[in-house]
Structure 1
Amino acid sequence: MDKKPKAFLFDLNGTMINDMEFHNHAWHSILTKDLGASISFEAVKKEMYGKNQDLLERVFGVGHFSQEQIDQISIEKEHRYQAAYKKHLSLIAGLADFLESAKKSGILMAIGSAAIPFNIDFVLDNLQVRSYFKAVVSAEDVLNSKPDPETFLKGAAILGIPADECVVFEDAPKGVEAAQNAGMKCIALTTMHHADEFSAYNNIIAFIEDYNDPVLKSLF
């Protein structure tokens, strides 16, 4: 970046915690065993972006389920995910120190996630990191989910920081696309996707495996 960023916007799942395999298993179980879809584990992985309702509509079509059914399926999926993941719940390596460094540097931080508050609260409260974030934008706070830029633009607006002075941390190609659509640079974590899966985007500053990567020092 030409100038030091004033804000960091974090996706949650796969970006702050390495939990996407658990989401993948929970969704695959729900879709195939409960709902009868014929879809592979790898195919489910590619659909895991945006809101839960968006995923269900991509797999089954718009109007297949009532809103009440969608809400019931969504919360059941999250209960299964949390039950399986809770004993593994931890921040990605180096993130605790990175958050503290950002705070001491005066960089504002926000969460911009397609998760529902039930899951965001599960992470922020169990890991006791809520105090670092001046804004939390969830699936319930936006009309249009990623790759639409609304999630990140809303987070930046709450922080009062222009888009070009924000850096987004993301693990999913559609999340990087949302950042690009918002006019924001991005750090991509390779927790769930390989670097070559992000080749369509020109807003990526760096790829990292975790927050111990020395490239992050250039942000302060």
Structure 2
Amino acid sequence: MLQNMKGAIFDLDGVIVDTAKYHFLAWAELARELGFEFTEEDNERLKGVSRMRSLDILLEVGGLDFPEEEKIAMADKKNKLYVEFINKLDQSELLPGVKEYLTGLRERGVGIALGSASKNAMFILDKLNITDLFDAVVDGNKVSNAKPDPEVFLTGAVELKLQPEECVVFEDAEAGVEAGKAAGMKVVGIGKPEILKEADLVVAGLHELL
């Protein structure tokens, strides 16, 4: 599967870098301002989910509801908090084996794309100093449907000028694995086998594939 792939499409959070902790801190801060606690356990429900859907889940946890206009302002506020956190990112926060694995793929002539719901993807790649390792970046600014919809990965294949079956997806979230399979691609799960049981292969991180 990995030997024959012509394209590799990577999720960002939890695969390339662990920015999930910063998302959590930003959401938790917003919840505190709204008068309730948002726990790490609650945060599990937000993995691989779009910003507005994440806000809906957070408000559900707090038993609150707001008009759409206010919700957009809240999502923007959360993003500002998050950007403050990730502003301090540097290459030291790359997950183990990431740079080596991406460099190895480039040497083999494999097309590399990012497939992430994050609207801050380019900013993060720049901070990590690995933008030049990607042939295509498909993020929340380019697609409208969140995972488990396969749009982000299908768009990645188009940008790499490849067929879906020629690509392998690297994902840490259940919704992302589902999206990859729905796109007709093989999927490498990054994380726990019991959570990512639909993936074709599960590893703890890209360092295991070196």
Q: Same fold (TM over 0.5)?
A: yes
Are the structure 2 counterparts of residues 136 and 210 from structure 1 closer, same or farther at C-alpha, using a change threshold of 3 Å? same
Paired residues for 1:1-220 under 5 Å: 1=1, 4-30=4-30, 32-37=31-36, 39-60=38-59, 64-66=67-69, 68-82=72-86, 86=89, 89-116=92-119, 119-190=120-191, 194-199=192-197, 201=198, 204-213=199-208, 216=209
Percent of matched pairs sharing the same residue: 29
* Cα pair 1:17 1:89 within 8 Å, conserved: no
- Report the Cα distance in structure 2 between the residues aligned to 1:5 and 1:133, rounded to whole angstroms: 16
Once the two structures are superposed, residues 121-176 of structure 1 have per-residue CA deviations (whole angstroms, 9 ceiling, x without a partner) of: 33211222111111111112111111100000001111111111100111111111
* Cα pair 1:53 1:74 within 8 Å, conserved: no
Q: Could you tell me how far 1:50 is from its partner in structure 2?
A: 2.1
Are the structure 2 counterparts of residues 107 and 2 from structure 1 closer, same or farther at C-alpha, using a change threshold of 3 Å? closer
Moved over 6 A (4+): none
Q: Could you tell me how far 1:38 is from its partner in structure 2?
A: 5.0
Q: Which amino acid aligns with 1:179?
A: G
- Report the Cα distance in structure 2 between the residues aligned to 1:20 and 1:59, rounded to whole angstroms: 15
Q: Could you tell me how far 1:21 is from its partner in structure 2?
A: 2.5
* Cα pair 2:169 2:187 within 8 Å, conserved: yes
Are the structure 2 counterparts of residues 212 and 72 from structure 1 closer, same or farther at C-alpha, using a change threshold of 3 Å? closer
* Cα pair 1:170 1:187 within 8 Å, conserved: yes
Which has the larger displacement, 41-50 or 127-136?
A: 41-50
Are the structure 2 counterparts of residues 63 and 134 from structure 1 closer, same or farther at C-alpha, using a change threshold of 3 Å? farther
Unpaired runs of at least 5, structure 1: none
Are the structure 2 counterparts of residues 87 and 148 from structure 1 closer, same or farther at C-alpha, using a change threshold of 3 Å? same
Unpaired runs of at least 5, structure 2: none
Q: Could you tell me how far 1:92 is from its partner in structure 2?
A: 1.2
- Report the Cα distance in structure 1 between the residues aligned to 2:28 and 2:151, rounded to whole angstroms: 28
Q: Could you tell me how far 1:47 is from its partner in structure 2?
A: 2.0
Are the structure 2 counterparts of residues 37 and 76 from structure 1 closer, same or farther at C-alpha, using a change threshold of 3 Å? farther
- Report the Cα distance in structure 1 between the residues aligned to 2:106 and 2:44, rounded to whole angstroms: 33
- Report the Cα distance in structure 1 between the residues aligned to 2:9 and 2:187, rounded to whole angstroms: 9
Are the structure 2 counterparts of residues 16 and 38 from structure 1 closer, same or farther at C-alpha, using a change threshold of 3 Å? same
Q: CA RMSD in A?
A: 2.3
Q: Could you tell me how far 1:45 is from its partner in structure 2?
A: 2.1
TM-score by length of 1: 0.83
